[in-house]
Chains A and B, each alone.
Chain A
Amino acid sequence: MSTRLSKGGRLLDRSKALDFVFNGKRLKGYQGDTLASALLGNDQMLLGRSFKYHRPRGLVASGAEEPNALVHLGQGGRFEPNQRTTTTELYAGAELSSQNHWPSLEFDVGAVNNAFARFLVGGFYYKTFIHPRFAWKHVFEPVIRQSAGLGKAPKEADADHYEQAYDFCDVLIAGGGIAGLQAALVAGQAGKRVILLEQTPYWGGRAPVDGDVIDGRPAADWIAATVADLAKMPNVTLKTRCMAAGVYDHGYILAEERVADHTPGDGRPKKRLWRIRATRIVAATGALERPLSFAGNDIPGVMLASAVRDYVVNWAVSPGDRTVVVTNNDDAYRTAIALKEAGLAVPVILDARASANGPLPTKARAMGIRVEAGKAIAKVKGGKRVTGVAICLQAGEGAVLEEIACDAVAMSGGWSPVVHLWSHCGGKLLWDEAQAMFRPDATKPPTSHDGQALVYAVGAANGHLQATAILPDAAQGAAAAAGVTPSGVAAQAAPSDEAPLEPVWTMPQGAPIQLRSKMWLDYQNDVKVSDVQLAAREGYESVEHTKRYTTLGMATDQGKLSNINGLAVLAQSLNTDIPNVGTTTFRPPYTPVTLGALAGESRGEIFQPLRKTPINDWHLKHNAYMEPVGLWRRAYCYPKGGETHSQAVDREILAVRSGVGLLDASTLGKLIVKGPDAGRFLDMLYTNVMSNLGIGKCRYGLMCTEAGFLTDDGVVIRLDEDTWLCHTTTGGAERIHAHMEDWLQCEWWDWQVYTANVTEQYAQIAVAGPKARKVLEKLGGMDVSAETMPFMTFKEGTLAGLPVRVHRISFSGELSYEIAVPAGHGLALWEALMEAGQEHGIVAYGTEAMHVMRAEKGFIMMGDETDGTVIPQDLNLGWAISKKKADYLGKRGQERTYLASPDRWKLAGFETLDGSVIPDGAYILAPGVNANGQGNVQGRVTSTYYSPTLKKGIAMGLIKGGLSRMGDVVEFSAITGQPIKAKVVDPVFYDKEGEKQNG
């Protein structure tokens, strides 16, 4: 039985009782409880099931290292799985349910796996499901998927909001125990800007629980006084409930503050993600206790000794009436003493060491506790709860000497410093033989931009487990981090002599396989001592491989409990030293960070910044279906009445082809290139010549990467003697501008050229269709006749009283004018054109109609016909490549043998024999199979549409041989059904002579 004690509870406010629900049962806790302490206070030791064997699981720890006690918390939009009960505060009305079991926590069908544990050894995934091959896809994978995953995913959108904030400091201190407080005091007194973060809601860490005495007063008093002193310093920021998740390059720290986790729905953000830049970091992150590996150490009721002490002292919860303590060190005696002082029974302390005669064991004996040195637990008895332990000699093989009834076991295998923040940026560790721990190697710290140490580990995180050593170490580390010589005296703790621990990696040391296969290392993932030993026998010598093969340390606690024990077992199995095995890599975050906090405010409408053209509101008012194009929103089509999108697209195309239509082309990239060397520069940038373009003329140009591949295209116009304006694709404007600047600044820096991205300075409207000229003439203001403004020229002037630049260019194949106007006049010009075109049945057409019309005309589209592996020659664009120029970007690249090969897939048009539309992404089939047994292919479709103009499917694609294959009938793959037969044709389906666009 675990129960709430009538007295005590350092962190409890007994005047505030809180009701909560666990698996439908109404329970009571107090203000100050964690979910774990509240559950334990209600005798709820069984909290979940393990991942693989579905074994009963109870609380092991009292902090971030807890591997078992994860629950579903909340309802509806506030439902969250995998909430760690030991770090989550209780609030009134909290609704908890246990996870990873079916149908109920007490009776679980998956526990049948436990009976087959013999067959589910380390690496079983890799061994069991190999044969027969077909079974993986059809049998194993669906079943595994069904049972995999811990906890349920939320079904509703998150009802909470999250925010992000920035801060800066000279010294960031992670951890608000006595080391962190002492460090903050030193750095704060040195006048540095200090931020002190503590992950729990209270200051002081373990010191008050351990009964430390500092400067002659109880630790709690010293802590309160120190926090008060720090609060008075304007240069010190104190934050509780804020976990330093990771340290990144040059002193960047991510920290998650639990703002309203414990007050859900109060209007504040649930969490706040801090992005802090610190010059130096002090890691005062403490240490975590290690379990001992004995048979049955996973049975609910077996807990860390420090956790048992925490529950008794902090929350007045007794994990059991009779608690057996098992240890290899003196610290665990504090737990026995705390239990005894709380009026609970400690039948025996089993100390694996040959003798135990330090002050703490002596005190325990004086209190009447039986201490057995050299003894160990052979086996824990019990199923869903501990009922007793069998005692044996630590030095032996587990022969039972005695059985003792108990309902809890407090174990301590020593302590491991929390070195995560030290290690994230590359700090190295050394193996401390005496304390059996990895601790920071101060000679190999992570470094910052100046080559100096970035992180200083202090206190228990630095391997000092006694308060007497912790406080001066913290003062010294903080002074070094602050770049000052330590001034004043650090607080002094009363000494508490502890005898050295003795490493115990299996208990008893000669345990046979029957016992070793019941010794849990990783509680959540069910990795046992025998699994690691098996991995070692099977040749997994690297700790990183063993981790992945056995899943040791891959559970949600990320090996905080299990890793050191696991790698010690691995070292033993490999007959080598622990430092030779080393640790796995420590990666952020220290404990899980909510995805909502990482997203912050970037969700829903403000997920990302949107770019809108000056005509955007008109589109929305006219029922446009908007599509994202990069960050832009463009009108895809404008459905009318009950039209489907494809009906709207067809109507828009036919209206343009027979009358006139308007396209909002404002998103088109517009880059000004100006200067005495601008022409020479553009000749290097484009594959064709731009320097000889006449003023007032337009020319289509291609841009390639230095490797030779097409990267962008567009129409270039020459504004005056030394000024050109380059149109780029919508998505290419920023990229191509950066590309230009790259070459200008880094290669041809002596060329006199300026570039400017003026994309958003102009709205641009395409007026396309046989009636286009009539519409412009009606607006009046300039001569747009075929004689004064022939195809591929432009003119500046006035239309409808607005200052415009009118280009005779066409992407639709129709008579077309593209009119640029200062952005502020964009909507006015659009509306004037709409009105003027009424008599000709003018329509607005969207991007899809534009796409279909350019495909009907055989015009290529970046991203459809190109994919980064296509050169202009592949697209029959040799005419746009200058033979005369000695050099341009991509010329040398295109000369490479593979790119010059006649076997390359080249552009052609395709028409299906039955008039149907070829599916997107279809491949052109070829006879035979390749080395992998897959059917051969000889090309693929790149653009495929239904053409309302031609009333049939049309397509462009790349095919081996290109236009030389004209007239051939080829087969396109179909996802379902028979391949589709199509004829190779000229890709220009509409107005081959160009009479319409030139007219």
Chain B
Amino acid sequence: MLILECPYCGVKAEETELSPGGEAHLKRFGPGSTDEEFEAYMFARKNPKGVHFERWRHAYGCGKWFLAARCTATLEVFGTYPAQVSAPPQALQDKIKAKRPDWKGFQ
């Protein structure tokens, strides 16, 4: 059972207080997009063994959505941050790169 710190209310929340929302930083493709773009947006997920960016909602707490960077293999949590960004904060990316030199980067 993971513990993730909610970046809004500061609570170190246990997994039972959170609801998961899948991969973070998806770019929405709506009307006018090609079948390939829509398919990739709707269904294709990275599912990496390693560094992963995820959406979580502090559902039984402050109710806010936030994002978490974590290693799916070791369960290490690199950081959590508010959801209102289209890419992880640079400082967090640098931190991950330092800990995982072979990480290919956010994209």
Instruction: Spell out A's residues near B (CB within 8 Å).
Output: 248-250, 252, 277, 425-426, 447-451, 706-707, 738, 741-742, 745-747, 749, 886-887, 891-893, 895-896
User: How far is A896 from B42 in the complex, measured between Cα atoms in Å?
Assistant: 12
Residues of B within 8 A of A277 (CB): 3, 14
Which of B1, B31, B71 contacts A250 (CB under 8 A)? B1
- Cβ proximity bits B45-57 to A, threshold 8 Å, 1 near / 0 not: 0000000000101
Does any Cβ of A come within 8 Å of B94's Cβ? no
Residues of A within 8 A of B21 (CB): 742, 746
Tally of contacts, chain A with chain B, CB under 8 A? 71
For window 1-38 of B, CB contacts with A under 8 Å fall at: 1-3, 14-15, 19, 21, 28-33, 35, 38
Which of B31, B75, B83, B84 contacts A892 (CB under 8 A)? B31
Docked-complex contact A891 and B35, CB < 8 angstroms: no
Docked-complex contact B30 and A250, CB < 8 angstroms: no
Docked-complex contact A887 and B65, CB < 8 angstroms: no
User: How far is A745 from B63 in the complex, measured between Cα atoms in Å?
Assistant: 10
Q: Of all chain B residues, which has the CB nearest A250?
A: B3
Docked-complex contact A749 and B83, CB < 8 angstroms: yes
Docked-complex contact A747 and B28, CB < 8 angstroms: yes
Give me the 9 closest cross-chain CB pairs, A-B, nearest first: A451-B76, A749-B84, A252-B1, A745-B65, A447-B74, A449-B77, A746-B83, A250-B3, A887-B30
Residues of A within 8 A of B74 (CB): 426, 447, 451
User: How far is A448 from B84 in the complex, measured between Cα atoms in Å?
Assistant: 28
Docked-complex contact B63 and A447, CB < 8 angstroms: no
Residues of B within 8 A of A892 (CB): 29-33, 38
Docked-complex contact B55 and A746, CB < 8 angstroms: yes
Residues of A within 8 A of B71 (CB): 451
Docked-complex contact B31 and A886, CB < 8 angstroms: yes
Residues of A within 8 A of B15 (CB): 249
Docked-complex contact B76 and A741, CB < 8 angstroms: no
Which of B32, B55, B63, B75 contacts A249 (CB under 8 A)? B75
Minimal beta-carbon separation of B1 from chain A (angstroms) = 4
A-B contacts, 7 of them at CB < 8 A, read A250-B3, A277-B3, A451-B74, A451-B99, A892-B32, A892-B33, A893-B42
Please name 19 further chain A to chain B contacts, defined as beta carbons within 8 Å, in addition to the given A448-B76, A451-B74, sorted by A numbering: A249-B1, A249-B15, A249-B75, A250-B75, A447-B74, A447-B76, A448-B75, A451-B76, A706-B28, A706-B42, A738-B19, A738-B59, A741-B57, A741-B65, A746-B83, A749-B84, A887-B31, A892-B33, A896-B38
Which of B38, B64, B76, B83 contacts A449 (CB under 8 A)? B76
Residues of B within 8 A of A749 (CB): 83-84
User: How far is A892 from B39 in the complex, measured between Cα atoms in Å?
Assistant: 11
User: How far is A451 from B19 in the complex, measured between Cα atoms in Å?
Assistant: 23
Residues of A within 8 A of B63 (CB): 741
User: How far is A451 from B64 in the complex, measured between Cα atoms in Å?
Assistant: 26
Q: How many residues of B contact A (CB 8 A)?
A: 30
Minimal beta-carbon separation of B61 from chain A (angstroms) = 13
Report if A447-B19 is in contact (Cβ < 8 Å); known contacts: A738-B59, A891-B31.
Answer: no
Q: Of all chain B residues, which has the CB nearest A449?
A: B77
Q: Of all chain A residues, which has the CB nearest B74?
A: A447
Residues of B within 8 A of A250 (CB): 1-3, 75
Minimal beta-carbon separation of B17 from chain A (angstroms) = 13
User: How far is A522 from B35 in the complex, measured between Cα atoms in Å?
Assistant: 55
Docked-complex contact A707 and B42, CB < 8 angstroms: yes
For window 67-107 of B, CB contacts with A under 8 Å fall at: 71, 74-77, 83-84, 99
Q: Of all chain B residues, which has the CB nearest A746?
A: B83
Which of A252, A448, A745, A893 contacts B64 (CB under 8 A)? A745
Minimal beta-carbon separation of B71 from chain A (angstroms) = 8
Residues of B within 8 A of A707 (CB): 42
User: How far is A749 from B65 in the complex, measured between Cα atoms in Å?
Assistant: 11
User: How far is A747 from B29 in the complex, measured between Cα atoms in Å?
Assistant: 12
Docked-complex contact A449 and B3, CB < 8 angstroms: yes
Q: Of all chain A residues, which has the CB nearest B42?
A: A707
Residues of A within 8 A of B35 (CB): 896
Minimal beta-carbon separation of A620 from chain B (angstroms) = 30
Docked-complex contact B84 and A745, CB < 8 angstroms: yes
Report if A249-B33 is in contact (Cβ < 8 Å); known contacts: A448-B75, A451-B99, A738-B57.
Answer: no
Q: Of all chain B residues, which has the CB nearest A450?
A: B76
User: How far is A895 from B33 in the complex, measured between Cα atoms in Å?
Assistant: 10
Q: Of all chain A residues, which has the CB nearest B43?
A: A707
Docked-complex contact A745 and B83, CB < 8 angstroms: yes
Residues of A within 8 A of B65 (CB): 741-742, 745-746
Q: Of all chain A residues, which has the CB nearest B15?
A: A249
Q: Of all chain A residues, which has the CB nearest B5?
A: A449
User: How far is A783 from B21 in the complex, measured between Cα atoms in Å?
Assistant: 48
Residues of A within 8 A of B38 (CB): 892-893, 896
Docked-complex contact B42 and A425, CB < 8 angstroms: no
User: How far is A896 from B33 in the complex, measured between Cα atoms in Å?
Assistant: 11
Minimal beta-carbon separation of B48 from chain A (angstroms) = 16
User: How far is A252 from B3 in the complex, measured between Cα atoms in Å?
Assistant: 9
User: How far is A220 from B57 in the complex, measured between Cα atoms in Å?
Assistant: 52
User: How far is A893 from B65 in the complex, measured between Cα atoms in Å?
Assistant: 24
Residues of A within 8 A of B29 (CB): 892
Q: Of all chain B residues, which has the CB nearest A707?
A: B42
User: How far is A745 from B83 in the complex, measured between Cα atoms in Å?
Assistant: 7
Minimal beta-carbon separation of A780 from chain B (angstroms) = 41
Minimal beta-carbon separation of B23 from chain A (angstroms) = 12
Most buried by A among B19, B75, B76, B99: B75
Residues of A within 8 A of B75 (CB): 249-250, 425, 447-449
User: How far is A47 from B44 in the complex, measured between Cα atoms in Å?
Assistant: 57
Minimal beta-carbon separation of A176 from chain B (angstroms) = 25
Minimal beta-carbon separation of B69 from chain A (angstroms) = 12
Residues of B within 8 A of A450 (CB): 76-77
User: How far is A426 from B76 in the complex, measured between Cα atoms in Å?
Assistant: 13
Which of B14, B19, B31 contacts A895 (CB under 8 A)? B31
User: How far is A426 from B73 in the complex, measured between Cα atoms in Å?
Assistant: 9
Residues of A within 8 A of B28 (CB): 706, 747
Q: Of all chain A residues, which has the CB nearest B4?
A: A449
User: How far is A746 from B42 in the complex, measured between Cα atoms in Å?
Assistant: 16
Residues of B within 8 A of A451 (CB): 71, 74, 76, 99
Minimal beta-carbon separation of B65 from chain A (angstroms) = 4
Docked-complex contact B3 and A742, CB < 8 angstroms: no
Minimal beta-carbon separation of B49 from chain A (angstroms) = 12
User: How far is A619 from B24 in the complex, measured between Cα atoms in Å?
Assistant: 46
Minimal beta-carbon separation of A898 from chain B (angstroms) = 11
Q: Of all chain A residues, which has the CB nearest B64?
A: A745
Residues of A within 8 A of B99 (CB): 451
Residues of A within 8 A of B55 (CB): 746
User: How far is A706 from B29 in the complex, measured between Cα atoms in Å?
Assistant: 10
Docked-complex contact B83 and A248, CB < 8 angstroms: no
Residues of A within 8 A of B30 (CB): 887, 891-892
Q: Of all chain A residues, which has the CB nearest B24?
A: A746
Minimal beta-carbon separation of B20 from chain A (angstroms) = 12
User: How far is A447 from B2 in the complex, measured between Cα atoms in Å?
Assistant: 12
User: How far is A432 from B19 in the complex, measured between Cα atoms in Å?
Assistant: 43
Residues of A within 8 A of B64 (CB): 745
User: How far is A250 from B33 in the complex, measured between Cα atoms in Å?
Assistant: 41
Minimal beta-carbon separation of B13 from chain A (angstroms) = 11
User: How far is A811 from B15 in the complex, measured between Cα atoms in Å?
Assistant: 40
Most buried by B among A449, A451, A707, A886: A449
User: How far is A224 from B98 in the complex, measured between Cα atoms in Å?
Assistant: 49
